[in-house]
Amino acid sequence: VGAAPRRCRLPTHGCFSGQIPAFAPLLEQVKARLGSLAGVVIVADALHAQVAHARAVAAAGGHLYVSVKANQPTLFAQLKRLPWARVPVGDQHRDVGHGRRETRTVKALTLQTPGGIGFPHAQQAVRITRTRTTAGKRTRETVYLVASLPAADARPAELQQWARLEWHIENRLHWVRDVTFREDAHRARTGNGPAVAAVLRNTAIGFHRGNGETNIARATRRAARRPHDLITTVTSSYPTTQ
């Protein structure tokens, strides 16, 4: 993998049923753009904890770091049963802001046999515990992941950072598309409809982010009430042609 693995988060989000078959073509696009997947770490959400995806990434020379949830019940149960109580804390990070305190604790366990938990090429099992306190209320969430990199190439602090960056994308883009724009409920399912709709949503999000908006739902409501302001903002950036 080398001293500094490259990280790539595949943007496969869209129509839920289309994400899994979209993985392989997008992987080929990333490979074509970078020239090679050697030293590249593909970070993906739980939907992509697929045997075929793990094998495809490994065959291309890359590595997969993927979360595991109840959609893979056997693998999830295997990860949960590992002796985490005997594993020392590998990394811990605390954040304070926006009236919230959050602690993220990482434990990483080297598997005795790569793929020994029933997932191809898996070399490390990872558990990240997020404890959050907001307005005096404390919540705790535990996430399990698998990585095809050995401990020498993916230390707990790096595993923490990669997972956090993936969650950052989920929160700033995919969560907005899912909840604010209700993407999964959209009825466009054939032809270029889903792709066009996704481009329009991304354009709207990018426009509002570029204007310093932090609440996309509020910005969308404001734009709907004052459409002429939105049109003026967009058209004023370009010279009028005769």
DSSP 184: G
Amino acid 174 reads: H
What pLDDT score does 13 carry? Answer: 43
Beta bridge partners of 157: none
Element (H, E) at 74: helix 73-81
Residues in the chain where the model's pLDDT stays below 50: 1-4, 11-17, 241-242
Q: Do 90 and 108 form a contact (C-beta atoms < 8 A)?
A: yes
What pLDDT score does 14 carry? Answer: 42
What pLDDT score does 88 carry? Answer: 95
What pLDDT score does 114 carry? Answer: 62
- List own/partner pairs for 198-202 with CB under 8 A and 24 or more apart: 198/14, 201/177, 202/173, 202/177
- Smallest Cα–Cα separation from 66: which of 195, 179, 154, 172? 154
| Structure confidence by residue, pLDDT tens digits, 8-17 | 555 444 444 4
Dig out the tokens for 189 from the structure: 């399912």
